Structure 1
C-alpha cells in the first residue's frame, strides 16, 4: 500500500552562499530538503517510501532542471528502478556521521553554514523515528549522464509524532 504524501515545504542550502566559497571552488555543494506530511502515523515505513517515490516532487535529477512532473530520473538513477527496497534503514547516529563527513570533508564549516545544516538536516534527524539511506542501487542503474554528481547522498527521515517525512539530498557536482 502506498501512503499519500503532501508536499509541505522545501529548502536549499547552497555552500557557495557562505564566506568560504573559495575552499569549495572545485565543486558546487548543496543540501536539498523537501518536507512532506502524511496522515497515518501507523503507516509502515515501506508505504511511506512508496508514497515518496510516487510523488511528483521526487521527479528531480538534481542537475539543474528542478522537478519534472513527467520526469524519468531521480538523482543519479532511472526513476523506474527506485523502490522502497533501494533504501536501507540506518540509525540516526550513522546518518549524522554521513552528513558531517560529507559537509566537513574540506575543513570546518563557518558558523552560518553549520547553523543552516543544523536547522535543515540535523534537527529533523534528531526527532526522526526512522532513517533510510538510498543505498540499494549501483552504477549499473545510473542513467545516461548521472556522473554529473561527485557525491550524492540521500536520506529519508520519518517523524511519526509530527507526521512528517523529510527527504535530504546532499551532493556535489
Structure 2
C-alpha cells in the first residue's frame, strides 16, 4: 500500500474574521491536512492511503484526531471507502466552496484573503481533485447530523507531491 506522510494542518475559523454585522455567521471553518506522497503514486492508492491514515480519524466537531477513532466527519469511519470519492473539476470544486462560504452574504476581506491563501490555492495547484459523495444519513455515526454542511475534497498536486484533504463545514 502507498504510504503518505502527514506534513501539516491549516485551520481557518470564520469566527476569527469579524463580519460587518458583528456576527460570525455560525460555527463555520475550513480544515486542510497536507500529506507528502511518493512519486508515481496512483490515485486509487492515494485515496486508500488517506482514508487509512490516522489523521483521517477526525470527527471535525471539536474532538480532533482520535488514532483509535471510528468516526470521520459525520460518518462512521467504516462507511468511507476510497471509491466513494468522485473526480471533480477545479471549477466545480471552487464553485461549491465559494457558494458554501458566501451562503450568508459577503465575506470580510480578511477571511476572503485567508481562504484564497489556503483553500483556493490548494484547489488551483491541484493536478486532480476528488470529492467525497454524500453518503446519506444511513452512514451517520451516533451524532453525525451535527454538521449542517460538510464538504470534503482530496486535492492531488503532482508537481509538489502533496495530497491535501480539504474539509469545509460547520457545527
TM-score by length of 1: 0.95
SS in 2 for 1:63: coil
CA distance, structure 2, for counterparts of residue 136 and residue 89 of structure 1: 14
User: 52-61 or 128-137, which moves further after superposition?
Assistant: 128-137
CA distance, structure 1, for counterparts of residue 63 and residue 22 of structure 2: 25
SS in 1 for 2:23: helix
Alpha-carbon distance, 1:136 to partner: 5.2
Structure-2 residue corresponding to 1:170: 168
CA distance, structure 1, for counterparts of residue 56 and residue 161 of structure 2: 18
Q: Does 1:108 align with 2:106?
A: yes
What is the alpha-carbon root mean square deviation over aligned residues?
Answer: 1.2
- The count of aligned residue pairs is 170
Q: What is the correspondence of 1:35-74 to structure 2 with a 5 Å cutoff?
A: 35-40=34-39, 42-74=40-72
Q: What is the correspondence of 1:85-124 to structure 2 with a 5 Å cutoff?
A: 85-124=83-122
> Structure 1 unaligned runs (5+)?
none
CA distance, structure 2, for counterparts of residue 100 and residue 121 of structure 1: 10
User: 50-59 or 132-141, which moves further after superposition?
Assistant: 132-141
1:60-96 CA-to-partner distances (Å, cap 9, x unmatched) read: 0011110000000000111111111111100000000
Please tell me whether the aligned partners of residues 17 and 24 of structure 2 are also in contact (alpha carbons under 8 angstroms).
Answer: no
Structure-1 residue corresponding to 2:158: 160
1:130-156 CA-to-partner distances (Å, cap 9, x unmatched) read: 101010511111111001111000011
TM-score by length of 2: 0.96
Q: Does 1:14 align with 2:13?
A: yes
CA distance, structure 2, for counterparts of residue 166 and residue 98 of structure 1: 17
SS in 2 for 1:154: strand
SS in 2 for 1:61: coil
> Structure 2 unaligned runs (5+)?
none
Moved over 3 A (4+): 21-25
CA distance, structure 2, for counterparts of residue 152 and residue 110 of structure 1: 22
SS in 2 for 1:114: helix
SS in 2 for 1:147: helix
Structure-2 residue corresponding to 1:34: 33
CA distance, structure 2, for counterparts of residue 76 and residue 165 of structure 1: 22
Please tell me whether the aligned partners of residues 85 and 136 of structure 1 are also in contact (alpha carbons under 8 angstroms).
Answer: no
Alpha-carbon distance, 1:116 to partner: 0.6
